[in-house]
Chain A
Protein backbone atom coordinates (compact mmCIF):
# COMPACT_ATOMS: atom_id res chain seq x y z
CA UNK A 1 0.00 0.00 0.00
CA UNK A 2 2.77 2.42 0.91
CA UNK A 3 4.28 2.06 -2.57
CA UNK A 4 0.91 2.91 -4.03
CA UNK A 5 0.67 6.05 -1.88
CA UNK A 6 3.97 7.20 -3.37
CA UNK A 7 2.57 6.52 -6.81
CA UNK A 8 -0.32 8.86 -5.98
CA UNK A 9 2.14 11.50 -4.81
CA UNK A 10 4.03 11.18 -8.10
CA UNK A 11 0.83 11.55 -10.08
CA UNK A 12 -0.57 14.52 -8.14
CA UNK A 13 2.78 16.33 -8.12
CA UNK A 14 2.99 15.79 -11.87
CA UNK A 15 -0.42 17.34 -12.51
CA UNK A 16 0.35 20.15 -10.09
CA UNK A 17 3.55 21.03 -11.91
CA UNK A 18 1.74 21.01 -15.22
CA UNK A 19 -1.13 23.18 -13.99
CA UNK A 20 0.93 25.64 -11.98
CA UNK A 21 2.74 27.03 -15.01
CA UNK A 22 0.13 26.41 -17.70
CA UNK A 23 -0.63 30.13 -18.10
CA UNK A 24 2.75 31.78 -17.98
CA UNK A 25 3.58 34.75 -20.25
CA UNK A 26 6.55 34.33 -22.59
CA UNK A 27 8.48 37.10 -20.82
CA UNK A 28 8.69 34.89 -17.75
CA UNK A 29 9.83 31.70 -19.47
CA UNK A 30 13.51 32.20 -18.68
CA UNK A 31 13.04 33.29 -15.05
CA UNK A 32 10.58 30.45 -14.52
CA UNK A 33 12.96 27.87 -15.94
CA UNK A 34 15.63 29.30 -13.68
CA UNK A 35 13.20 29.27 -10.74
CA UNK A 36 12.26 25.64 -11.26
CA UNK A 37 15.98 24.93 -11.58
CA UNK A 38 16.36 26.46 -8.11
CA UNK A 39 13.47 24.42 -6.68
CA UNK A 40 15.04 21.09 -7.66
CA UNK A 41 18.05 22.31 -5.70
CA UNK A 42 16.22 20.70 -2.77
CA UNK A 43 18.24 17.67 -3.87
CA UNK A 44 20.69 19.22 -1.37
CA UNK A 45 18.50 17.81 1.40
CA UNK A 46 18.72 14.36 -0.15
CA UNK A 47 22.49 14.70 -0.43
CA UNK A 48 22.71 15.63 3.26
CA UNK A 49 20.66 12.60 4.32
CA UNK A 50 22.79 10.37 2.09
CA UNK A 51 26.10 11.75 3.36
CA UNK A 52 24.78 11.65 6.92
CA UNK A 53 24.27 7.92 6.65
CA UNK A 54 27.59 7.19 4.90
CA UNK A 55 30.05 5.01 6.78
CA UNK A 56 32.78 7.33 8.16
CA UNK A 57 35.34 4.51 7.69
CA UNK A 58 34.65 4.30 3.95
CA UNK A 59 36.45 7.06 2.02
CA UNK A 60 34.58 6.20 -1.19
CA UNK A 61 31.19 6.71 0.46
CA UNK A 62 32.35 9.94 2.04
CA UNK A 63 33.66 11.24 -1.28
CA UNK A 64 30.45 10.45 -3.16
CA UNK A 65 28.34 11.92 -0.37
CA UNK A 66 30.52 15.02 -0.26
CA UNK A 67 30.05 15.45 -4.01
CA UNK A 68 26.27 15.06 -3.67
CA UNK A 69 26.04 17.77 -0.99
CA UNK A 70 28.48 20.07 -2.80
CA UNK A 71 26.61 19.82 -6.11
CA UNK A 72 23.21 20.13 -4.44
CA UNK A 73 24.27 23.24 -2.52
CA UNK A 74 25.66 24.81 -5.70
CA UNK A 75 22.41 24.03 -7.54
CA UNK A 76 20.34 25.68 -4.81
CA UNK A 77 22.53 28.73 -4.21
CA UNK A 78 23.34 29.40 -7.86
CA UNK A 79 19.75 28.80 -8.93
CA UNK A 80 18.50 31.27 -6.36
CA UNK A 81 20.98 34.05 -7.17
CA UNK A 82 20.39 33.85 -10.91
CA UNK A 83 16.60 33.74 -10.59
CA UNK A 84 16.52 36.57 -8.08
CA UNK A 85 18.71 38.74 -10.30
CA UNK A 86 16.48 38.22 -13.31
CA UNK A 87 13.27 38.91 -11.41
CA UNK A 88 14.69 41.92 -9.59
CA UNK A 89 15.29 43.42 -13.01
CA UNK A 90 11.67 42.97 -13.97
CA UNK A 91 10.58 44.66 -10.78
CA UNK A 92 12.86 47.66 -11.22
CA UNK A 93 11.71 47.99 -14.77
CA UNK A 94 8.04 48.10 -13.90
CA UNK A 95 8.48 50.85 -11.34
CA UNK A 96 10.57 52.79 -13.81
CA UNK A 97 7.80 52.63 -16.38
CA UNK A 98 5.29 54.27 -14.11
Chain B
Protein backbone atom coordinates (compact mmCIF):
# COMPACT_ATOMS: atom_id res chain seq x y z
CA UNK B 1 0.00 0.00 0.00
CA UNK B 2 2.77 2.41 0.92
CA UNK B 3 4.58 1.61 -2.31
CA UNK B 4 1.45 2.52 -4.22
CA UNK B 5 0.91 5.80 -2.50
CA UNK B 6 3.35 7.95 -4.51
CA UNK B 7 1.87 6.62 -7.76
CA UNK B 8 -1.66 7.40 -6.65
CA UNK B 9 -0.54 10.84 -5.45
CA UNK B 10 1.05 11.53 -8.80
CA UNK B 11 -2.09 10.43 -10.66
CA UNK B 12 -4.30 12.59 -8.45
CA UNK B 13 -2.02 15.59 -9.05
CA UNK B 14 -2.20 14.96 -12.78
CA UNK B 15 -6.02 14.80 -12.61
CA UNK B 16 -6.03 18.10 -10.76
CA UNK B 17 -3.97 19.73 -13.50
CA UNK B 18 -6.24 18.17 -16.13
CA UNK B 19 -9.33 19.62 -14.45
CA UNK B 20 -7.73 23.09 -14.38
CA UNK B 21 -6.79 22.88 -18.07
CA UNK B 22 -10.32 21.72 -19.00
CA UNK B 23 -11.81 24.79 -17.33
CA UNK B 24 -9.27 27.13 -18.94
CA UNK B 25 -9.91 25.43 -22.27
CA UNK B 26 -13.67 25.95 -22.01
CA UNK B 27 -13.07 29.55 -21.02
CA UNK B 28 -10.85 30.04 -24.08
CA UNK B 29 -13.48 28.39 -26.28
CA UNK B 30 -15.98 31.11 -25.42
CA UNK B 31 -14.07 33.79 -27.37
CA UNK B 32 -13.46 33.63 -31.15
CA UNK B 33 -9.83 34.72 -30.80
CA UNK B 34 -8.76 31.98 -28.38
CA UNK B 35 -11.29 29.27 -29.22
CA UNK B 36 -8.97 27.04 -31.26
CA UNK B 37 -6.26 27.21 -28.61
CA UNK B 38 -8.85 26.17 -26.01
CA UNK B 39 -9.78 22.90 -27.67
CA UNK B 40 -6.12 22.02 -28.33
CA UNK B 41 -5.28 22.55 -24.62
CA UNK B 42 -8.23 20.39 -23.63
CA UNK B 43 -7.05 17.78 -26.13
CA UNK B 44 -3.61 17.52 -24.52
CA UNK B 45 -5.25 17.34 -21.09
CA UNK B 46 -7.41 14.46 -22.30
CA UNK B 47 -4.38 12.54 -23.59
CA UNK B 48 -2.53 13.16 -20.31
CA UNK B 49 -5.52 11.98 -18.26
CA UNK B 50 -5.78 8.80 -20.34
CA UNK B 51 -2.07 8.00 -20.11
CA UNK B 52 -1.69 8.46 -16.35
CA UNK B 53 -4.77 6.32 -15.76
CA UNK B 54 -2.86 3.29 -17.11
CA UNK B 55 -0.67 3.62 -14.00
CA UNK B 56 -3.68 3.39 -11.64
CA UNK B 57 -2.67 0.87 -8.95
CA UNK B 58 -4.14 -2.64 -9.14
CA UNK B 59 -5.61 -2.40 -12.62
CA UNK B 60 -6.16 -5.45 -14.81
CA UNK B 61 -7.50 -6.19 -18.30
CA UNK B 62 -5.04 -3.90 -20.04
CA UNK B 63 -5.29 -5.73 -23.35
CA UNK B 64 -9.05 -5.33 -23.51
CA UNK B 65 -8.72 -1.70 -22.40
CA UNK B 66 -6.21 -0.85 -25.14
CA UNK B 67 -8.37 -2.59 -27.73
CA UNK B 68 -11.48 -0.65 -26.67
CA UNK B 69 -9.61 2.67 -26.70
CA UNK B 70 -8.07 1.99 -30.10
CA UNK B 71 -11.37 0.87 -31.61
CA UNK B 72 -13.43 3.74 -30.19
CA UNK B 73 -10.84 6.36 -31.07
CA UNK B 74 -10.26 5.21 -34.63
CA UNK B 75 -13.94 4.80 -35.53
CA UNK B 76 -14.95 8.15 -34.02
CA UNK B 77 -11.90 9.96 -35.39
CA UNK B 78 -12.43 8.74 -38.95
CA UNK B 79 -16.19 9.36 -38.92
CA UNK B 80 -15.65 12.82 -37.41
CA UNK B 81 -13.09 13.70 -40.08
CA UNK B 82 -15.17 12.42 -42.98
CA UNK B 83 -18.54 13.87 -42.12
CA UNK B 84 -19.72 16.93 -44.06
CA UNK B 85 -19.87 20.23 -42.19
CA UNK B 86 -23.64 20.28 -42.64
CA UNK B 87 -23.98 17.01 -40.72
CA UNK B 88 -22.11 18.26 -37.64
CA UNK B 89 -25.20 18.55 -35.38
CA UNK B 90 -26.00 14.86 -35.54
CA UNK B 91 -22.34 13.98 -34.94
CA UNK B 92 -22.32 16.08 -31.76
CA UNK B 93 -25.54 14.31 -30.77
CA UNK B 94 -24.16 10.80 -31.31
CA UNK B 95 -20.80 11.43 -29.60
CA UNK B 96 -22.69 12.95 -26.70
CA UNK B 97 -24.88 9.86 -26.54
CA UNK B 98 -21.79 7.68 -26.34
CA UNK B 99 -20.55 9.66 -23.34
CA UNK B 100 -23.91 9.15 -21.64
CA UNK B 101 -23.75 5.45 -22.47
CA UNK B 102 -20.25 5.23 -20.99
CA UNK B 103 -21.43 6.83 -17.74
CA UNK B 104 -24.36 4.41 -17.56
CA UNK B 105 -22.06 1.45 -18.29
CA UNK B 106 -19.72 2.50 -15.46
CA UNK B 107 -22.65 2.43 -13.06
CA UNK B 108 -23.79 -0.93 -14.44
CA UNK B 109 -20.33 -2.39 -13.91
CA UNK B 110 -20.16 -1.11 -10.34
CA UNK B 111 -23.55 -2.74 -9.66
CA UNK B 112 -22.41 -6.00 -11.30
CA UNK B 113 -19.30 -6.04 -9.11
CA UNK B 114 -21.41 -5.24 -6.04
CA UNK B 115 -18.90 -2.52 -5.25
CA UNK B 116 -21.21 0.42 -4.62
CA UNK B 117 -21.61 0.98 -0.88
CA UNK B 118 -23.25 3.65 1.17
CA UNK B 119 -26.42 5.63 0.62
CA UNK B 120 -24.85 8.64 -1.08
CA UNK B 121 -22.68 6.66 -3.50
CA UNK B 122 -25.52 4.31 -4.48
CA UNK B 123 -27.96 7.16 -4.93
CA UNK B 124 -25.54 9.07 -7.14
CA UNK B 125 -24.69 5.91 -9.08
CA UNK B 126 -28.40 5.34 -9.75
CA UNK B 127 -29.04 9.00 -10.67
CA UNK B 128 -26.02 9.04 -12.98
CA UNK B 129 -27.11 5.78 -14.58
CA UNK B 130 -30.63 7.11 -15.14
CA UNK B 131 -29.48 10.42 -16.62
CA UNK B 132 -26.72 8.78 -18.65
CA UNK B 133 -29.11 6.19 -20.12
CA UNK B 134 -31.63 8.88 -21.06
CA UNK B 135 -28.82 10.90 -22.69
CA UNK B 136 -27.66 7.79 -24.57
CA UNK B 137 -30.98 6.66 -26.06
CA UNK B 138 -32.24 10.25 -26.47
CA UNK B 139 -29.12 11.22 -28.41
CA UNK B 140 -29.46 8.15 -30.61
CA UNK B 141 -33.00 9.26 -31.49
CA UNK B 142 -31.80 12.83 -32.12
CA UNK B 143 -29.10 11.44 -34.41
CA UNK B 144 -31.59 9.28 -36.30
CA UNK B 145 -33.90 12.26 -36.79
CA UNK B 146 -31.24 14.67 -38.00
CA UNK B 147 -29.70 12.02 -40.22
CA UNK B 148 -33.12 11.49 -41.81
CA UNK B 149 -33.38 7.87 -40.69
CA UNK B 150 -36.43 8.74 -38.59
CA UNK B 151 -38.59 11.03 -40.66
CA UNK B 152 -41.46 12.42 -38.66
CA UNK B 153 -42.09 13.47 -35.13
CA UNK B 154 -44.83 11.28 -33.66
CA UNK B 155 -46.59 11.37 -30.34
CA UNK B 156 -48.01 8.61 -28.23
CA UNK B 157 -51.74 9.05 -27.54
CA UNK B 158 -51.00 9.95 -23.92
CA UNK B 159 -47.47 11.24 -24.38
CA UNK B 160 -47.05 13.15 -21.12
CA UNK B 161 -48.67 10.42 -19.04
CA UNK B 162 -46.34 7.88 -20.65
CA UNK B 163 -43.31 10.09 -19.87
CA UNK B 164 -44.31 10.48 -16.24
CA UNK B 165 -45.19 6.78 -15.79
CA UNK B 166 -41.90 5.63 -17.29
CA UNK B 167 -39.93 8.12 -15.20
CA UNK B 168 -41.74 7.08 -12.02
CA UNK B 169 -41.21 3.39 -12.73
CA UNK B 170 -37.51 3.95 -13.37
CA UNK B 171 -37.16 5.99 -10.18
CA UNK B 172 -39.04 3.30 -8.21
CA UNK B 173 -36.66 0.58 -9.42
CA UNK B 174 -33.77 2.94 -8.73
CA UNK B 175 -35.03 3.30 -5.18
CA UNK B 176 -35.16 -0.51 -4.79
CA UNK B 177 -31.51 -0.63 -5.91
CA UNK B 178 -30.52 2.05 -3.40
CA UNK B 179 -32.48 0.43 -0.58
CA UNK B 180 -31.12 -3.10 -1.11
CA UNK B 181 -27.84 -4.23 0.43
CA UNK B 182 -26.88 -5.86 -2.82
CA UNK B 183 -29.19 -4.96 -5.71
CA UNK B 184 -31.16 -7.76 -7.38
CA UNK B 185 -30.02 -8.29 -10.99
CA UNK B 186 -33.60 -8.14 -12.31
CA UNK B 187 -34.08 -4.75 -10.67
CA UNK B 188 -30.89 -3.44 -12.25
CA UNK B 189 -31.86 -4.82 -15.68
CA UNK B 190 -35.39 -3.44 -15.45
CA UNK B 191 -34.03 -0.09 -14.29
CA UNK B 192 -31.75 0.28 -17.31
CA UNK B 193 -34.45 -0.90 -19.72
CA UNK B 194 -36.88 1.70 -18.36
CA UNK B 195 -34.26 4.46 -18.36
CA UNK B 196 -33.34 3.76 -21.99
CA UNK B 197 -37.02 3.65 -22.99
CA UNK B 198 -37.57 6.97 -21.22
CA UNK B 199 -34.87 8.63 -23.33
CA UNK B 200 -36.54 7.38 -26.52
CA UNK B 201 -40.05 8.38 -25.50
CA UNK B 202 -38.92 11.85 -24.39
CA UNK B 203 -37.09 12.63 -27.62
CA UNK B 204 -39.25 11.04 -30.31
CA UNK B 205 -42.07 13.64 -30.32
CA UNK B 206 -39.67 16.60 -30.48
CA UNK B 207 -39.01 18.21 -33.82
CA UNK B 208 -38.66 21.47 -35.66
CA UNK B 209 -36.97 24.39 -34.03
CA UNK B 210 -36.83 22.53 -30.69
CA UNK B 211 -34.11 20.13 -31.83
CA UNK B 212 -31.10 22.32 -30.91
CA UNK B 213 -32.45 22.82 -27.41
CA UNK B 214 -32.81 19.08 -26.94
CA UNK B 215 -29.27 18.30 -28.08
CA UNK B 216 -27.95 20.94 -25.72
CA UNK B 217 -30.06 19.57 -22.87
CA UNK B 218 -28.84 16.01 -23.50
CA UNK B 219 -25.27 17.33 -23.54
CA UNK B 220 -25.81 18.86 -20.11
CA UNK B 221 -27.37 15.55 -18.97
CA UNK B 222 -24.29 13.60 -19.98
CA UNK B 223 -22.09 16.07 -18.10
CA UNK B 224 -24.15 15.55 -14.92
CA UNK B 225 -24.09 11.77 -15.32
CA UNK B 226 -20.30 11.82 -15.75
CA UNK B 227 -19.92 13.99 -12.65
CA UNK B 228 -22.07 11.62 -10.58
CA UNK B 229 -20.19 8.51 -11.69
CA UNK B 230 -17.02 10.46 -10.88
CA UNK B 231 -18.19 10.54 -7.27
CA UNK B 232 -18.89 6.81 -7.30
CA UNK B 233 -15.37 6.12 -8.58
CA UNK B 234 -13.84 8.74 -6.27
CA UNK B 235 -12.37 10.50 -9.29
CA UNK B 236 -12.30 14.32 -8.97
CA UNK B 237 -11.35 14.86 -12.65
CA UNK B 238 -14.63 13.28 -13.70
CA UNK B 239 -16.56 15.22 -11.07
CA UNK B 240 -15.15 18.60 -12.05
CA UNK B 241 -15.28 18.10 -15.83
CA UNK B 242 -18.74 16.53 -15.65
CA UNK B 243 -20.34 19.12 -13.40
CA UNK B 244 -18.72 22.05 -15.25
CA UNK B 245 -20.21 20.71 -18.49
CA UNK B 246 -23.52 20.02 -16.77
CA UNK B 247 -23.75 23.61 -15.57
CA UNK B 248 -22.51 25.29 -18.74
CA UNK B 249 -24.71 23.02 -20.85
CA UNK B 250 -27.72 23.96 -18.73
CA UNK B 251 -26.93 27.65 -19.24
CA UNK B 252 -26.55 27.15 -22.99
CA UNK B 253 -29.89 25.32 -23.06
CA UNK B 254 -31.55 28.18 -21.20
CA UNK B 255 -30.09 30.75 -23.61
CA UNK B 256 -31.55 28.81 -26.52
CA UNK B 257 -34.91 28.22 -24.92
CA UNK B 258 -35.07 31.92 -24.07
CA UNK B 259 -34.38 32.83 -27.68
CA UNK B 260 -37.46 30.83 -28.59
CA UNK B 261 -39.53 32.21 -25.76
CA UNK B 262 -40.33 28.64 -24.75
CA UNK B 263 -39.55 27.37 -21.25
CA UNK B 264 -37.52 24.14 -21.32
CA UNK B 265 -40.46 22.31 -19.75
CA UNK B 266 -42.59 23.30 -22.77
CA UNK B 267 -39.99 21.99 -25.18
CA UNK B 268 -40.20 18.60 -23.53
CA UNK B 269 -43.85 18.33 -22.55
CA UNK B 270 -45.64 20.24 -25.30
CA UNK B 271 -43.47 19.81 -28.36
CA UNK B 272 -44.24 21.94 -31.41
CA UNK B 273 -46.25 19.89 -33.82
CA UNK B 274 -48.56 21.47 -36.35
CA UNK B 275 -50.67 18.38 -36.81
CA UNK B 276 -51.55 18.13 -33.14
CA UNK B 277 -52.08 21.81 -32.39
CA UNK B 278 -53.98 24.47 -34.24
CA UNK B 279 -52.93 27.76 -35.66
CA UNK B 280 -55.31 29.71 -37.91
CA UNK B 281 -55.73 28.53 -41.45
CA UNK B 282 -53.80 30.79 -43.80
CA UNK B 283 -55.66 32.34 -46.71
CA UNK B 284 -54.36 33.28 -50.12
CA UNK B 285 -51.96 31.51 -52.39
CA UNK B 286 -48.23 31.16 -52.79
CA UNK B 287 -46.95 33.26 -55.68
CA UNK B 288 -44.07 31.82 -57.62
CA UNK B 289 -41.11 33.71 -59.03
CA UNK B 290 -38.43 32.61 -61.48
CA UNK B 291 -34.70 32.78 -60.88
CA UNK B 292 -34.31 35.55 -63.46
CA UNK B 293 -36.81 37.88 -61.80
CA UNK B 294 -35.40 37.09 -58.37
CA UNK B 295 -31.92 37.96 -59.66
CA UNK B 296 -33.13 41.23 -61.16
CA UNK B 297 -34.94 42.34 -58.00
CA UNK B 298 -31.81 41.77 -55.91
CA UNK B 299 -29.33 43.08 -58.48
CA UNK B 300 -31.09 46.47 -58.58
CA UNK B 301 -31.87 46.65 -54.87
CA UNK B 302 -29.80 48.82 -52.56
CA UNK B 303 -30.18 46.67 -49.47
CA UNK B 304 -30.68 42.89 -49.26
CA UNK B 305 -30.94 40.89 -46.04
CA UNK B 306 -30.39 37.14 -46.31
CA UNK B 307 -32.10 34.87 -43.78
CA UNK B 308 -30.54 31.39 -43.95
CA UNK B 309 -32.13 28.32 -42.41
CA UNK B 310 -31.86 24.57 -42.29
CA UNK B 311 -32.73 24.35 -46.00
CA UNK B 312 -29.43 26.04 -46.81
CA UNK B 313 -27.58 23.55 -44.60
CA UNK B 314 -29.30 20.51 -46.12
CA UNK B 315 -28.51 21.68 -49.64
CA UNK B 316 -24.94 22.65 -48.67
CA UNK B 317 -25.63 25.94 -50.42
CA UNK B 318 -23.53 28.24 -48.22
CA UNK B 319 -20.76 28.58 -50.83
CA UNK B 320 -23.25 29.48 -53.56
CA UNK B 321 -24.90 31.97 -51.22
CA UNK B 322 -21.56 33.66 -50.57
CA UNK B 323 -20.72 33.68 -54.29
CA UNK B 324 -24.04 35.40 -54.96
CA UNK B 325 -23.40 37.86 -52.13
CA UNK B 326 -20.05 38.84 -53.61
CA UNK B 327 -21.61 39.37 -57.04
CA UNK B 328 -24.35 41.55 -55.57
CA UNK B 329 -21.83 43.59 -53.60
CA UNK B 330 -19.78 44.16 -56.75
CA UNK B 331 -22.97 45.58 -58.22
CA UNK B 332 -23.23 47.98 -55.29
CA UNK B 333 -25.87 46.17 -53.25
CA UNK B 334 -25.51 46.20 -49.47
CA UNK B 335 -25.93 42.60 -48.27
CA UNK B 336 -26.16 41.41 -44.70
CA UNK B 337 -27.06 38.12 -43.04
CA UNK B 338 -29.70 37.80 -40.32
CA UNK B 339 -29.25 34.82 -38.02
CA UNK B 340 -32.03 33.65 -35.76
CA UNK B 341 -30.67 32.06 -32.56
CA UNK B 342 -32.27 28.73 -33.33
CA UNK B 343 -31.98 28.72 -37.12
CA UNK B 344 -30.83 25.31 -38.26
CA UNK B 345 -30.57 22.41 -35.90
CA UNK B 346 -28.12 23.88 -33.38
CA UNK B 347 -27.43 27.34 -32.00
CA UNK B 348 -24.82 28.99 -34.18
CA UNK B 349 -25.32 26.31 -36.88
CA UNK B 350 -25.74 28.98 -39.57
CA UNK B 351 -22.73 30.95 -38.33
CA UNK B 352 -20.53 27.89 -38.66
CA UNK B 353 -21.69 27.20 -42.21
CA UNK B 354 -21.34 30.83 -43.31
CA UNK B 355 -17.88 30.99 -41.74
CA UNK B 356 -16.95 27.86 -43.67
CA UNK B 357 -18.03 29.55 -46.90
CA UNK B 358 -15.91 32.61 -46.06
CA UNK B 359 -18.56 35.16 -45.07
CA UNK B 360 -16.90 37.79 -42.83
CA UNK B 361 -18.19 38.24 -39.27
CA UNK B 362 -19.18 41.86 -39.87
CA UNK B 363 -21.88 40.87 -42.35
CA UNK B 364 -23.57 38.51 -39.89
CA UNK B 365 -26.08 39.91 -37.41
CA UNK B 366 -28.12 38.55 -34.51
CA UNK B 367 -31.87 38.90 -34.24
CA UNK B 368 -31.78 41.97 -31.97
CA UNK B 369 -29.14 43.70 -34.06
CA UNK B 370 -30.91 43.45 -37.39
CA UNK B 371 -34.64 43.22 -36.77
CA UNK B 372 -35.04 47.03 -36.99
CA UNK B 373 -33.43 47.04 -40.45
CA UNK B 374 -35.99 44.93 -42.30
CA UNK B 375 -38.39 47.81 -43.13
CA UNK B 376 -35.50 49.59 -44.89
CA UNK B 377 -34.49 46.49 -46.84
CA UNK B 378 -35.56 46.20 -50.46
CA UNK B 379 -35.36 42.45 -50.39
CA UNK B 380 -35.39 39.85 -47.64
CA UNK B 381 -34.09 36.59 -49.13
CA UNK B 382 -35.21 33.65 -47.00
CA UNK B 383 -33.22 30.52 -47.82
CA UNK B 384 -34.75 27.38 -46.38
CA UNK B 385 -35.88 29.02 -43.15
CA UNK B 386 -39.45 28.69 -41.98
CA UNK B 387 -40.57 28.93 -38.35
CA UNK B 388 -38.03 31.66 -37.54
CA UNK B 389 -39.67 34.05 -40.04
CA UNK B 390 -43.30 33.09 -39.43
CA UNK B 391 -45.22 36.31 -38.61
CA UNK B 392 -47.93 34.23 -36.89
CA UNK B 393 -45.55 34.17 -33.92
CA UNK B 394 -46.31 37.88 -33.49
CA UNK B 395 -50.00 37.93 -34.31
CA UNK B 396 -51.77 34.57 -34.04
CA UNK B 397 -52.43 33.59 -30.43
CA UNK B 398 -53.56 30.10 -31.48
CA UNK B 399 -50.32 29.35 -33.29
CA UNK B 400 -48.07 26.85 -31.52
CA UNK B 401 -45.14 29.25 -31.89
CA UNK B 402 -46.99 32.38 -30.69
CA UNK B 403 -44.63 34.57 -28.66
CA UNK B 404 -41.41 33.22 -30.14
CA UNK B 405 -39.16 36.10 -31.28
CA UNK B 406 -38.86 35.98 -35.06
CA UNK B 407 -36.90 37.76 -37.74
CA UNK B 408 -39.28 40.36 -39.22
CA UNK B 409 -38.54 39.40 -42.82
CA UNK B 410 -42.19 40.11 -43.68
CA UNK B 411 -41.58 43.85 -43.10
CA UNK B 412 -39.11 44.10 -46.00
CA UNK B 413 -40.34 45.69 -49.26
CA UNK B 414 -40.04 42.37 -51.08
CA UNK B 415 -39.62 38.89 -49.72
CA UNK B 416 -38.15 36.05 -51.77
CA UNK B 417 -38.38 32.61 -50.21
CA UNK B 418 -36.22 29.80 -51.55
CA UNK B 419 -38.08 26.61 -50.77
CA UNK B 420 -38.13 23.07 -52.05
CA UNK B 421 -41.89 22.75 -52.44
CA UNK B 422 -45.26 23.94 -51.21
CA UNK B 423 -45.27 21.85 -48.04
CA UNK B 424 -45.20 23.19 -44.53
CA UNK B 425 -41.64 22.08 -43.74
CA UNK B 426 -40.09 20.36 -40.77
CA UNK B 427 -42.34 21.47 -37.95
CA UNK B 428 -45.55 21.21 -39.95
CA UNK B 429 -46.81 24.72 -39.14
CA UNK B 430 -48.34 26.88 -41.89
CA UNK B 431 -46.35 30.05 -42.53
CA UNK B 432 -48.36 33.20 -43.25
CA UNK B 433 -45.24 34.83 -44.71
CA UNK B 434 -45.43 32.58 -47.76
CA UNK B 435 -48.88 33.91 -48.64
CA UNK B 436 -48.24 37.64 -48.26
CA UNK B 437 -48.72 40.01 -51.21
CA UNK B 438 -45.07 41.05 -51.26
CA UNK B 439 -43.75 37.49 -50.99
CA UNK B 440 -42.56 35.42 -53.95
CA UNK B 441 -41.57 31.77 -53.80
CA UNK B 442 -38.51 30.53 -55.67
CA UNK B 443 -38.94 26.77 -55.76
CA UNK B 444 -36.00 24.38 -55.82
CA UNK B 445 -33.20 23.20 -53.58
CA UNK B 446 -31.15 26.12 -52.24
CA UNK B 447 -28.08 24.88 -54.09
CA UNK B 448 -29.80 24.79 -57.47
CA UNK B 449 -32.00 27.90 -57.01
CA UNK B 450 -29.15 30.13 -55.84
CA UNK B 451 -26.95 28.70 -58.62
CA UNK B 452 -29.52 29.85 -61.18
CA UNK B 453 -29.80 33.26 -59.54
CA UNK B 454 -26.01 33.61 -59.78
CA UNK B 455 -26.14 32.94 -63.55
CA UNK B 456 -28.79 35.60 -64.03
CA UNK B 457 -27.02 38.16 -61.81
CA UNK B 458 -23.88 37.61 -63.91
CA UNK B 459 -25.88 38.10 -67.09
CA UNK B 460 -27.28 41.37 -65.75
CA UNK B 461 -23.84 42.65 -64.78
CA UNK B 462 -22.23 42.27 -68.20
Chain A positions within 8 Å of B, measured between CB atoms, are 3, 6, 9-10, 13-18, 20-56, 58, 60-62, 64-91, 93-94, 96-97
Contact = CB atoms under 8 A, between A and B. Distances in A.
A16 B43 contact: no
Contact of A54 (B103, B113, B341): B113
Given A16-B23, A21-B26, A46 B60 contact: no
A30 to B, nearest CB: 4
Nearest to B228: A10
Interface in B23-38: 23, 25-27, 29-32, 35-36, 38
Contacts of A13: 227, 239-240, 242-244, 247
Contacts of A81: 76-77, 80-81
A70 B238 contact: no
B447 interface: no
Contacts of A86: 85, 88, 352
Contacts of A65: 61, 64, 105, 109
Interface stretch (B92-100, B197-205, B266-274, B301-309): B92-100
Interface in B243-294: 243-252, 255-256
B56 interface: yes
B43 A44 contact: no
B247 A18 contact: yes
Contacts, number: 386
A51 B64 contact: yes
B102 A46 contact: yes
B216 interface: yes
Contacts of A35: 25-26, 29, 35, 38-39, 42
Contact of A67 (B67, B105, B120, B219): B105
Contacts of A84: 36, 39-40, 43
Interface stretch (B45-53, B147-155, B382-390, B410-418): B45-53
Interface stretch (B156-164, B358-366, B373-381): B358-366
A82 B88 CA distance: 7
